[in-house]
Structure 1
């Protein structure tokens, strides 16, 4: 196992990620899938996080006393939480590319001159002056590792920071997956970018019914969606594929993906859903077209800028960070979908630390590929009995998640 992990690179360079991903023997189909996913996941995956922060905020009900631990991913939601002025946010991620991106986004709020400059840097494509803004305002303020990351040159000789002068949201594993999906659709006569021309919910529904839904009946697409590797570009590891495939009698994800795409395209007005803009337009909307992510709202700018020093970004696992904290020192936990990847032992280790560090009134939120919570039957009853599963609110807020990727949204509250 270690030799193969080292050969593909990600195990040698990122042992934390290797330990989280590898669960099967090297010379097995499952083991090969895990190592292929690990290789792909070892680069930048999510330029933008794909969990709806409005849902998170309603579930958590943050206060000025909130002490948060969250997985970083693309960094957008961490900044949204910061707009509520919590006492402390610890951001963890196993991917060093996400660490660099989170630190850069924080620096943009702290050191760029104005809200317009932040919006231009993080939301407007084709702005070559963003690179100059980095050199002038951000590079001198960054820690050595983060500055080195963004000034490093790629195989074409361009500095990494150059993506902010083009369109960072077309980069990373997810950006390439969306590009490939667009190409596949166009080969079948459908241009997904046409969706952003819809001017009403009726037109959105019509576009889905007449142009997108039929694609999932095409033999090539059904074959592709039956392969685990086909969804690695969404950041879905082999374990999550198995969970999703269990929802279909055919063990193909075509029906599952069609259902979730229907939610993304038809359940929310396009103007209010920046996730749909990224999926179909491959950019954020312009001011006359729709809303930006909430952390880029002008009303949130001052709070985020003033509170940015309350965030600490760690290259660590969730369990590892919590193990170093004292009892009762955290009251909000955001796990994204990370538990879908975990073995039973990893889940129990995690919830042991969550329960130990949880203060009175603590809240845990997470998402799952399938609809049901994965904890019952896997996490020790002695741990779960200390938590209340808020099933009604979980179901309601899950339906309101505009990203539409996940099957379930889950809220656990510490019992008094």
Structure 2
């Protein structure tokens, strides 16, 4: 298992640089890529922003499947364990995500019950989580991850202490959401007003009358016309260009408004923890709504039983697959990583996917724009090995509660 390097920045992270950098340093695009890389070298996603229920439906995930997936915040990998796969290999280029994935696995392995896991991973402003880490979790972490969470920050506090406040308000995404709330307040709008809605009709009213008009404000339109404005969402320059390709007036504000409308209006609040994180900056409690799939009581026993079936690697997807034998992987979860890739990188990736795929293997991924990113870019020989389930992909995309992406895509290994 590859070990992470604590505090490895973008300049030291050769894997991330190789994945991201496509232009010369002093070019406009090159500077944009390097700025994003510097921001992306810290913790980005305390919570993953892909709907795990859609993932598992798209994969038709069943007991005994072997999975390779991208880690991000680790929530979906844990949700997959509820279906009893034979193994999960998690890859990520960000050492902070590696540490977070391993910590979440250790929490399930170490803490005595479901309520303890929820207290540690889902609640805000609680005491005792640091004590739980020191007493039972730390001993179940590898040495490097343990050092990561024990490291003191500029203010003297250990990193692990964020779990006594609200880890979901930290990281690049957490700060981006905070800025969104600040911009709304500058225009006399409190995004937390959505929590008062008791029905889809009331959610629609709050969005139409309070939130949607923000996207017509000159400041919002100006900000969203700049690539760097969306770096906080983890959207690199290449992915911004994908979003801009479906914009009509040079600003992606209308695209963002459409995505936020789906998040706010298309699913009951009680069923959409993604909306709670975006608008209330926390998870629901009590009767307010349901927690993420991996934190639901009915999934706890299965996840705890299966945590040792996961291996977490600081590696690229292609690199990890190259180490695996042929005909050995059933399911692949690429998130939106292909939006970053050159044609060469895409073909290298799918060469390894095709080599390692079992009969009937499935690949799922998301895209910023609606269309599949691989169409017209893979070599004909590679593309011929896979069948695109276009109708099923579209149907499941409509069910994706995170609402961030334009497309969800499923490919099945052809017979």
Q: Which residue of 1 aligns with 2:363?
A: 364
| Partners of 1:94 and 1:315 within 8 A in 2 | yes
Matched residues in 2 for 1:60 and 1:186: separation? 41
Q: Distance in 1 between matches of 2:171 and 2:264?
A: 23
Residues 337-389 of structure 1 show CA distances to partners (whole Å, capped at 9, x for unaligned) of 00000000000000000000000110000000000001111111100100000
Structure 2 counterpart SS, 1:135: helix
**Residue matched to 2:99:** 100
Aligned position for 1:145: 144
Q: Secondary structure at the match of 1:127?
A: coil
Instruction: Specify the alignment match of 2:68 in structure 1.
Output: 69
Give yes or no for contact 2:109–2:140 (8 Å, CA) kept in 1: no
Is the Cα–Cα contact under 8 Å of residues 363 and 411 in structure 2 kept in the other structure? yes
Equivalence for 1:129: 128
Q: How does 1:85-96 map to 2 (within 5 A)?
A: 85-96=84-95
Unaligned runs of at least 5 residues, structure 2: 1-7
Note the C-alpha offset of 1:96. Answer: 0.3
Q: Secondary structure at the match of 1:313?
A: strand
Tell me what 1:178 maps to: 177
Distance 1:401 1:141 in 2: 34
Matches within 5 A, 1:6-405: 10-405=9-404
Aligned-partner Cα distance in 2 for 1:63–1:186: 46
Tell me the secondary structure at the aligned position of residue 338 of structure 2: helix
CA distance in 2, matches of 1:280, 1:156: 28
- The answer to whether the Cα contact below 8 Å between 1:10 and 1:18 also exists between their aligned partners in 2 is no
Deviation at 1:10, TM superposition (A): 3.5
Give the match's secondary structure for 1:292. coil
Query: Quick one: distance in 1 between partners of 2:207 and 2:260?
Result: 8
TM-score by length of 1: 0.97
SS at match of 1:288: helix
Q: Is the Cα contact below 8 Å between 2:45 and 2:172 reproduced in 1? A: yes
Report the Cα distance in structure 2 between the residues aligned to 1:262 and 1:396, rounded to whole angstroms: 18
Q: What is the TM-score of this pair, normalised by structure 2?
A: 0.97
Deviation at 1:63, TM superposition (A): 1.8
Equivalent position SS for 2:287: coil
Rounded to whole Å, the distance in 1 between the matches of 2:365 and 2:328 is 20
Q: Distance in 2 between matches of 1:345 and 1:15?
A: 18
Residues of 1 paired with 2:61 and 2:257: CA distance?
34
Task: Write the distance in 2 (CA, Å) between the matches of 1:317 and 1:289.
Answer: 39
SS class of match (2:403): coil
Deviations 1:35-93 (A, max 9, x none): 00000000000000000000011111122220000000000000000010000000000
Query: CA separation in 2, counterparts of 1:304 and 1:61?
Result: 18
Contact 2:172 2:233 in 1 (8 A): yes
Query: Contact 2:386/2:411 (CA < 8 Å) preserved in 1?
Result: yes
SS in 2 for 1:73: coil
* Gap regions ≥5 residues in structure 1: 1-8
CA distance in 2, matches of 1:150, 1:140: 12
1:195-218: CA deviation from partner (whole Å, max 9, x where unpaired): 111111111000010001111111
Aligned length: 408
Secondary structure of the equivalent of 1:24? coil
- Aligned position for 1:6: none
1:5 aligned partner: none
Task: Write the distance in 2 (CA, Å) between the matches of 1:98 and 1:185.
Answer: 29
- Kindly provide the CA deviation profile for residues 98-121 of structure 1, in whole angstroms up to 9, marking residues without a partner as x: 000000000000010111100100
**DSSP-derived class of the 2:230 partner:** helix
Judge conservation of contact 1:170–1:282 (CA < 8 Å) in 2: yes
| C-alpha contact (below 8 Å) 2:65/2:330 kept by paired residues | yes
Deviation at 1:127, TM superposition (A): 1.0
Q: CA deviation at 1:219?
A: 0.6
